[in-house]
Structure 1
Protein backbone atom coordinates (compact mmCIF):
# COMPACT_ATOMS: atom_id res chain seq x y z
CA UNK A 1 0.00 0.00 0.00
CA UNK A 2 2.80 2.34 0.92
CA UNK A 3 4.44 1.60 -2.41
CA UNK A 4 1.24 2.44 -4.27
CA UNK A 5 0.87 5.80 -2.47
CA UNK A 6 4.53 6.60 -3.16
CA UNK A 7 4.00 5.75 -6.82
CA UNK A 8 0.96 8.00 -6.96
CA UNK A 9 2.97 10.81 -5.37
CA UNK A 10 5.77 10.44 -7.91
CA UNK A 11 3.30 10.39 -10.77
CA UNK A 12 1.68 13.55 -9.44
CA UNK A 13 5.13 15.21 -9.23
CA UNK A 14 5.92 14.18 -12.77
CA UNK A 15 2.58 15.51 -14.00
CA UNK A 16 3.05 18.88 -12.30
CA UNK A 17 6.63 19.22 -13.55
CA UNK A 18 5.45 18.29 -17.04
CA UNK A 19 2.82 21.00 -16.89
CA UNK A 20 5.41 23.46 -15.70
CA UNK A 21 7.64 22.73 -18.70
CA UNK A 22 4.78 22.39 -21.20
CA UNK A 23 3.00 25.64 -20.33
CA UNK A 24 5.84 27.97 -21.33
CA UNK A 25 6.20 26.21 -24.71
CA UNK A 26 2.49 26.58 -25.46
CA UNK A 27 2.58 30.22 -24.42
CA UNK A 28 5.66 30.79 -26.56
CA UNK A 29 3.97 29.23 -29.59
CA UNK A 30 0.96 31.48 -29.10
CA UNK A 31 3.23 34.53 -28.85
CA UNK A 32 5.18 33.46 -31.97
CA UNK A 33 1.94 33.00 -33.94
CA UNK A 34 0.76 36.43 -32.79
CA UNK A 35 4.05 37.99 -33.88
CA UNK A 36 3.77 36.35 -37.31
CA UNK A 37 0.21 37.62 -37.70
CA UNK A 38 1.28 41.16 -36.78
CA UNK A 39 4.19 41.02 -39.26
CA UNK A 40 1.87 39.79 -42.03
CA UNK A 41 -0.62 42.58 -41.32
CA UNK A 42 2.15 45.21 -41.38
CA UNK A 43 3.52 43.78 -44.63
CA UNK A 44 0.04 43.71 -46.17
CA UNK A 45 -0.58 47.31 -45.16
CA UNK A 46 2.81 48.38 -46.52
CA UNK A 47 2.41 46.54 -49.82
CA UNK A 48 -1.16 47.77 -50.16
CA UNK A 49 0.12 51.31 -49.82
CA UNK A 50 2.76 50.69 -52.46
CA UNK A 51 0.20 49.14 -54.84
CA UNK A 52 -2.19 52.03 -54.23
CA UNK A 53 0.56 54.58 -54.86
CA UNK A 54 1.57 52.77 -58.07
CA UNK A 55 -2.05 52.62 -59.25
CA UNK A 56 -2.50 56.34 -58.58
CA UNK A 57 0.73 57.16 -60.40
CA UNK A 58 -0.33 55.08 -63.43
CA UNK A 59 -3.73 56.74 -63.45
CA UNK A 60 -2.19 60.21 -63.32
CA UNK A 61 0.25 59.30 -66.11
CA UNK A 62 -2.46 57.89 -68.35
CA UNK A 63 -4.70 60.93 -67.80
CA UNK A 64 -1.75 63.25 -68.42
CA UNK A 65 -0.79 61.35 -71.56
CA UNK A 66 -4.31 61.56 -73.00
CA UNK A 67 -4.42 65.31 -72.85
CA UNK A 68 -7.19 67.35 -74.42
CA UNK A 69 -6.08 66.67 -78.04
CA UNK A 70 -6.36 62.86 -77.76
CA UNK A 71 -10.12 62.92 -77.21
CA UNK A 72 -11.81 63.15 -80.63
CA UNK A 73 -14.34 65.91 -81.08
CA UNK A 74 -17.91 64.72 -81.46
CA UNK A 75 -18.57 67.47 -83.99
CA UNK A 76 -15.62 66.60 -86.27
CA UNK A 77 -15.23 62.90 -87.06
CA UNK A 78 -11.77 62.07 -88.32
CA UNK A 79 -10.61 59.54 -90.89
CA UNK A 80 -8.20 58.07 -88.32
CA UNK A 81 -11.14 56.70 -86.33
CA UNK A 82 -12.23 54.45 -89.21
CA UNK A 83 -8.64 53.50 -90.06
CA UNK A 84 -8.05 52.21 -86.53
CA UNK A 85 -10.95 49.75 -86.91
CA UNK A 86 -9.13 47.82 -89.65
CA UNK A 87 -7.05 44.80 -88.71
CA UNK A 88 -5.45 42.88 -91.60
CA UNK A 89 -6.87 39.35 -91.74
CA UNK A 90 -4.46 36.55 -90.89
CA UNK A 91 -4.36 33.21 -92.69
CA UNK A 92 -5.89 30.22 -90.89
CA UNK A 93 -3.52 27.40 -89.90
CA UNK A 94 -2.40 25.60 -93.06
CA UNK A 95 -3.65 28.42 -95.31
CA UNK A 96 -1.36 30.66 -97.35
CA UNK A 97 -3.62 33.72 -97.52
CA UNK A 98 -6.57 35.34 -95.76
CA UNK A 99 -9.06 37.42 -97.75
CA UNK A 100 -10.90 40.66 -97.19
CA UNK A 101 -13.80 41.75 -99.41
CA UNK A 102 -14.11 45.42 -100.23
CA UNK A 103 -14.74 48.15 -102.77
CA UNK A 104 -11.36 49.17 -104.23
CA UNK A 105 -11.29 52.77 -105.53
CA UNK A 106 -9.47 56.14 -105.47
CA UNK A 107 -6.35 54.54 -106.98
CA UNK A 108 -3.36 56.89 -107.00
CA UNK A 109 0.13 56.34 -108.46
CA UNK A 110 2.82 57.12 -105.90
CA UNK A 111 6.57 57.53 -106.21
CA UNK A 112 8.54 54.42 -107.21
CA UNK A 113 5.46 53.24 -109.15
CA UNK A 114 3.63 52.16 -106.00
CA UNK A 115 -0.17 52.32 -106.14
CA UNK A 116 -2.34 53.42 -103.23
CA UNK A 117 -6.01 52.46 -103.14
CA UNK A 118 -8.86 53.00 -100.71
CA UNK A 119 -10.69 49.89 -99.55
CA UNK A 120 -14.24 50.10 -98.14
CA UNK A 121 -14.72 46.74 -96.45
CA UNK A 122 -17.91 44.79 -97.18
CA UNK A 123 -19.51 41.60 -95.93
CA UNK A 124 -21.72 39.33 -97.99
CA UNK A 125 -25.39 38.76 -97.39
CA UNK A 126 -27.33 36.62 -99.90
CA UNK A 127 -24.85 37.40 -102.67
CA UNK A 128 -25.01 41.16 -102.04
CA UNK A 129 -22.05 43.28 -100.88
CA UNK A 130 -23.04 45.14 -97.70
CA UNK A 131 -20.65 47.90 -96.45
CA UNK A 132 -19.31 47.41 -92.90
CA UNK A 133 -18.22 51.04 -92.42
CA UNK A 134 -14.52 50.15 -92.17
CA UNK A 135 -12.47 52.15 -94.70
CA UNK A 136 -8.68 52.02 -95.00
CA UNK A 137 -5.87 52.66 -97.48
CA UNK A 138 -3.52 50.04 -98.92
CA UNK A 139 -0.25 50.64 -100.77
CA UNK A 140 0.47 48.00 -103.42
CA UNK A 141 3.45 47.08 -105.54
CA UNK A 142 2.82 47.92 -109.22
CA UNK A 143 3.20 44.25 -110.21
CA UNK A 144 0.55 43.02 -107.75
CA UNK A 145 -1.57 40.54 -109.77
CA UNK A 146 -5.27 41.25 -110.23
CA UNK A 147 -7.88 38.84 -111.61
CA UNK A 148 -10.55 40.88 -113.38
CA UNK A 149 -13.70 40.33 -115.36
CA UNK A 150 -16.22 43.20 -115.35
CA UNK A 151 -13.45 45.78 -114.83
CA UNK A 152 -11.89 44.59 -118.10
CA UNK A 153 -15.16 44.80 -120.04
CA UNK A 154 -16.49 41.31 -119.26
CA UNK A 155 -13.40 39.40 -120.34
CA UNK A 156 -11.82 37.32 -117.56
CA UNK A 157 -8.07 37.85 -117.48
CA UNK A 158 -5.06 38.61 -115.29
CA UNK A 159 -3.66 42.14 -115.03
CA UNK A 160 -1.29 44.13 -112.84
CA UNK A 161 -2.61 46.77 -110.43
CA UNK A 162 -0.51 49.42 -112.21
CA UNK A 163 -2.62 48.79 -115.36
CA UNK A 164 -5.87 49.46 -113.45
CA UNK A 165 -5.06 52.82 -111.84
CA UNK A 166 -7.18 54.79 -114.33
CA UNK A 167 -10.17 52.43 -114.02
CA UNK A 168 -10.02 52.40 -110.21
CA UNK A 169 -9.41 56.16 -109.87
CA UNK A 170 -13.11 57.05 -109.36
CA UNK A 171 -15.48 56.18 -106.52
CA UNK A 172 -16.55 52.70 -105.37
CA UNK A 173 -17.75 50.55 -108.27
CA UNK A 174 -16.12 47.11 -108.09
CA UNK A 175 -15.70 44.71 -105.20
CA UNK A 176 -12.44 42.78 -104.89
CA UNK A 177 -11.14 40.05 -102.63
CA UNK A 178 -7.76 41.18 -101.28
CA UNK A 179 -5.47 38.28 -100.34
CA UNK A 180 -3.25 39.01 -97.31
CA UNK A 181 -0.20 36.97 -96.33
CA UNK A 182 0.88 36.25 -92.75
CA UNK A 183 2.79 39.57 -92.61
CA UNK A 184 -0.37 41.59 -93.39
CA UNK A 185 0.72 42.43 -96.97
CA UNK A 186 -1.64 42.23 -99.96
CA UNK A 187 -0.37 39.59 -102.41
CA UNK A 188 -3.18 39.69 -105.00
CA UNK A 189 -6.62 41.03 -105.81
CA UNK A 190 -9.51 39.09 -107.32
CA UNK A 191 -12.61 40.79 -108.65
CA UNK A 192 -15.65 39.51 -106.74
CA UNK A 193 -17.75 39.41 -109.92
CA UNK A 194 -20.20 36.98 -108.28
CA UNK A 195 -21.43 39.70 -105.88
CA UNK A 196 -24.02 42.34 -106.66
CA UNK A 197 -23.87 45.82 -105.12
CA UNK A 198 -26.62 48.13 -103.93
Structure 2
Protein backbone atom coordinates (compact mmCIF):
# COMPACT_ATOMS: atom_id res chain seq x y z
CA UNK A 1 0.00 0.00 0.00
CA UNK A 2 2.70 2.21 0.66
CA UNK A 3 3.78 1.60 -2.87
CA UNK A 4 0.40 2.57 -4.15
CA UNK A 5 0.42 5.76 -2.15
CA UNK A 6 3.85 6.51 -3.37
CA UNK A 7 2.76 5.83 -6.95
CA UNK A 8 -0.33 8.05 -6.58
CA UNK A 9 1.72 10.86 -5.18
CA UNK A 10 4.25 10.63 -8.01
CA UNK A 11 1.52 10.54 -10.62
CA UNK A 12 -0.03 13.64 -9.05
CA UNK A 13 3.33 15.41 -9.14
CA UNK A 14 3.86 14.36 -12.74
CA UNK A 15 0.40 15.61 -13.70
CA UNK A 16 1.09 18.91 -11.88
CA UNK A 17 4.41 19.44 -13.66
CA UNK A 18 2.91 18.49 -17.05
CA UNK A 19 0.17 21.09 -16.63
CA UNK A 20 2.68 23.93 -16.72
CA UNK A 21 4.45 22.45 -19.71
CA UNK A 22 1.55 21.33 -21.85
CA UNK A 23 0.55 23.94 -24.49
CA UNK A 24 -2.76 23.72 -26.25
CA UNK A 25 -2.46 23.35 -30.06
CA UNK A 26 -4.27 26.65 -30.82
CA UNK A 27 -1.84 28.66 -28.70
CA UNK A 28 1.10 27.00 -30.47
CA UNK A 29 -0.22 27.97 -33.89
CA UNK A 30 -0.85 31.59 -32.82
CA UNK A 31 2.71 31.84 -31.53
CA UNK A 32 4.10 30.29 -34.74
CA UNK A 33 2.19 32.76 -36.95
CA UNK A 34 3.40 35.66 -34.82
CA UNK A 35 7.02 34.50 -35.18
CA UNK A 36 6.54 34.07 -38.92
CA UNK A 37 5.17 37.64 -39.26
CA UNK A 38 8.06 38.96 -37.21
CA UNK A 39 10.59 37.21 -39.51
CA UNK A 40 8.85 38.61 -42.63
CA UNK A 41 8.82 42.13 -41.18
CA UNK A 42 12.53 41.91 -40.34
CA UNK A 43 13.32 40.61 -43.86
CA UNK A 44 11.31 43.42 -45.48
CA UNK A 45 12.95 46.01 -43.28
CA UNK A 46 16.42 44.65 -44.13
CA UNK A 47 15.55 44.75 -47.87
CA UNK A 48 14.33 48.35 -47.66
CA UNK A 49 17.42 49.43 -45.75
CA UNK A 50 19.71 47.67 -48.25
CA UNK A 51 17.88 49.28 -51.22
CA UNK A 52 18.04 52.71 -49.63
CA UNK A 53 21.75 52.31 -48.91
CA UNK A 54 22.40 51.22 -52.51
CA UNK A 55 20.43 54.21 -53.87
CA UNK A 56 22.35 56.61 -51.65
CA UNK A 57 25.68 55.14 -52.73
CA UNK A 58 24.70 55.29 -56.44
CA UNK A 59 23.45 58.88 -56.07
CA UNK A 60 26.61 59.90 -54.24
CA UNK A 61 28.76 58.34 -56.95
CA UNK A 62 26.75 60.10 -59.65
CA UNK A 63 27.14 63.44 -57.90
CA UNK A 64 30.81 62.86 -57.29
CA UNK A 65 31.32 61.90 -60.93
CA UNK A 66 29.43 64.93 -62.22
CA UNK A 67 31.40 67.23 -59.95
CA UNK A 68 34.60 66.19 -61.71
CA UNK A 69 33.30 66.77 -65.25
CA UNK A 70 32.64 70.46 -65.94
CA UNK A 71 29.32 71.18 -67.59
CA UNK A 72 29.49 72.79 -71.00
CA UNK A 73 29.00 76.52 -70.92
CA UNK A 74 25.61 77.79 -72.00
CA UNK A 75 26.17 79.02 -75.52
CA UNK A 76 23.63 80.96 -77.46
CA UNK A 77 23.34 79.29 -80.86
CA UNK A 78 24.77 81.50 -83.55
CA UNK A 79 23.04 81.26 -86.89
CA UNK A 80 25.34 80.10 -89.61
CA UNK A 81 26.40 83.03 -91.72
CA UNK A 82 24.92 83.17 -95.16
CA UNK A 83 27.48 82.60 -97.90
CA UNK A 84 25.90 85.51 -99.77
CA UNK A 85 28.05 88.63 -99.88
CA UNK A 86 26.52 91.73 -101.42
CA UNK A 87 28.62 92.86 -104.33
CA UNK A 88 30.13 96.32 -104.03
CA UNK A 89 31.02 98.58 -106.95
CA UNK A 90 34.63 98.72 -108.06
CA UNK A 91 36.37 102.09 -107.71
CA UNK A 92 34.97 104.53 -110.23
CA UNK A 93 31.82 102.46 -110.90
CA UNK A 94 28.33 103.37 -109.77
CA UNK A 95 26.90 99.85 -109.42
CA UNK A 96 27.97 96.23 -108.91
CA UNK A 97 25.93 93.37 -110.34
CA UNK A 98 24.93 89.90 -109.23
CA UNK A 99 23.67 87.35 -111.74
CA UNK A 100 20.92 85.02 -110.57
CA UNK A 101 17.55 83.41 -111.04
CA UNK A 102 14.84 85.51 -109.37
CA UNK A 103 11.74 83.57 -108.31
CA UNK A 104 9.31 82.92 -105.45
CA UNK A 105 7.98 86.49 -105.48
CA UNK A 106 5.57 87.20 -102.61
CA UNK A 107 3.87 90.54 -102.01
CA UNK A 108 4.18 91.82 -98.44
CA UNK A 109 2.42 95.17 -98.24
CA UNK A 110 4.52 97.79 -100.06
CA UNK A 111 7.39 95.33 -100.57
CA UNK A 112 8.06 92.17 -102.54
CA UNK A 113 10.14 89.30 -101.16
CA UNK A 114 12.03 87.32 -103.83
CA UNK A 115 14.44 84.41 -103.74
CA UNK A 116 17.69 84.70 -105.68
CA UNK A 117 19.72 81.69 -106.79
CA UNK A 118 23.15 83.11 -107.55
CA UNK A 119 24.77 82.11 -110.87
CA UNK A 120 28.23 82.22 -112.40
CA UNK A 121 28.61 84.02 -115.73
CA UNK A 122 26.71 82.92 -118.79
CA UNK A 123 28.82 80.72 -121.07
CA UNK A 124 27.29 79.83 -124.45
CA UNK A 125 23.79 80.70 -123.20
CA UNK A 126 23.93 78.65 -119.97
CA UNK A 127 24.76 79.72 -116.44
CA UNK A 128 26.00 77.53 -113.63
CA UNK A 129 24.66 77.89 -110.06
CA UNK A 130 27.12 78.85 -107.31
CA UNK A 131 25.09 77.12 -104.60
CA UNK A 132 24.26 80.43 -102.89
CA UNK A 133 20.55 81.13 -102.44
CA UNK A 134 19.30 84.20 -100.57
CA UNK A 135 16.20 86.35 -100.28
CA UNK A 136 15.73 90.02 -100.96
CA UNK A 137 12.91 92.26 -99.78
CA UNK A 138 12.50 95.07 -102.27
CA UNK A 139 10.05 97.96 -102.71
CA UNK A 140 7.23 97.26 -105.20
CA UNK A 141 8.47 100.24 -107.24
CA UNK A 142 11.92 98.71 -107.86
CA UNK A 143 12.82 99.24 -111.53
CA UNK A 144 12.94 96.13 -113.73
CA UNK A 145 14.40 96.32 -117.25
CA UNK A 146 12.65 93.50 -119.11
CA UNK A 147 12.52 92.08 -122.61
CA UNK A 148 11.03 88.54 -122.56
CA UNK A 149 8.85 89.36 -119.55
CA UNK A 150 7.32 92.28 -121.48
CA UNK A 151 6.51 90.28 -124.61
CA UNK A 152 9.82 90.65 -126.49
CA UNK A 153 10.00 94.47 -126.46
CA UNK A 154 12.42 96.26 -124.12
CA UNK A 155 10.42 97.93 -121.36
CA UNK A 156 10.90 99.42 -117.91
CA UNK A 157 8.48 97.83 -115.41
CA UNK A 158 8.04 97.88 -111.65
CA UNK A 159 8.69 94.75 -109.59
CA UNK A 160 5.12 94.91 -108.24
CA UNK A 161 3.82 94.32 -111.80
CA UNK A 162 5.76 91.04 -112.14
CA UNK A 163 4.82 89.26 -108.91
CA UNK A 164 2.63 86.70 -110.70
CA UNK A 165 5.28 85.89 -113.34
CA UNK A 166 8.12 85.65 -110.77
CA UNK A 167 6.15 83.55 -108.27
CA UNK A 168 7.16 80.22 -109.86
CA UNK A 169 10.47 78.42 -109.59
CA UNK A 170 13.83 79.50 -111.10
CA UNK A 171 13.05 80.54 -114.67
CA UNK A 172 13.88 84.22 -115.08
CA UNK A 173 17.54 85.26 -115.03
CA UNK A 174 18.40 88.81 -113.90
CA UNK A 175 21.37 91.01 -113.22
CA UNK A 176 20.73 92.65 -109.86
CA UNK A 177 22.43 96.05 -109.52
CA UNK A 178 23.66 97.12 -106.06
CA UNK A 179 24.81 100.61 -105.12
CA UNK A 180 27.80 101.38 -102.88
CA UNK A 181 25.62 101.03 -99.74
CA UNK A 182 24.41 97.54 -100.70
CA UNK A 183 20.90 98.61 -101.77
CA UNK A 184 19.29 97.10 -104.87
CA UNK A 185 18.83 99.81 -107.48
CA UNK A 186 17.38 97.75 -110.34
CA UNK A 187 16.93 94.35 -111.91
CA UNK A 188 17.90 93.79 -115.54
CA UNK A 189 16.67 90.75 -117.42
CA UNK A 190 19.63 88.69 -118.63
CA UNK A 191 19.94 85.86 -121.13
TM-score under structure 2 normalisation? 0.58
Matched residue, 2:182: 184
Distance 2:142 2:122 in 1: 28
Matched residue, 2:131: 133
Distance 1:107 1:87 in 2: 21
Distance 1:64 1:181 in 2: 42
Distance 1:176 1:184 in 2: 17
Q: Describe the SS at the equivalent of 1:135.
A: strand
Which runs of at least 4 in structure 1 moved beyond 4 Å after TM superposition? none
TM-score under structure 1 normalisation? 0.56
CA drift of 1:115 comes to 0.7
RMSD over aligned CA atoms reads: 2.1
Once the two structures are superposed, what CA deviation does each residue of 1:93-126 show, in whole Å capped at 9, x if it has no partner?
1111100000000001012x11110000000252
Matched, 1:99 2:97: yes
Distance 1:65 1:120 in 2: 35
Q: Structure 1 pair 65/95, CA: closer, same or farther in 2 (3 Å)?
A: farther
CA drift of 1:64 comes to 3.4
Matched residue, 2:64: none
Distance 1:188 1:102 in 2: 13
Alignment of 1:1-198 (within 5 A): 64=73, 66=75, 69-70=77-78, 81=80, 84-111=82-109, 113-127=110-124, 128-193=126-191
Q: Describe the SS at the equivalent of 2:127.
A: strand
CA drift of 1:153 comes to 2.2
How many correspondences in the alignment?
Answer: 120
Distance 2:86 2:132 in 1: 12
Unaligned 5+ residue runs, structure 1? 1-62, 71-79, 194-198
Q: Greater Rg, structure 1 or structure 2?
A: 2
Q: Describe the SS at the equivalent of 2:121.
A: strand
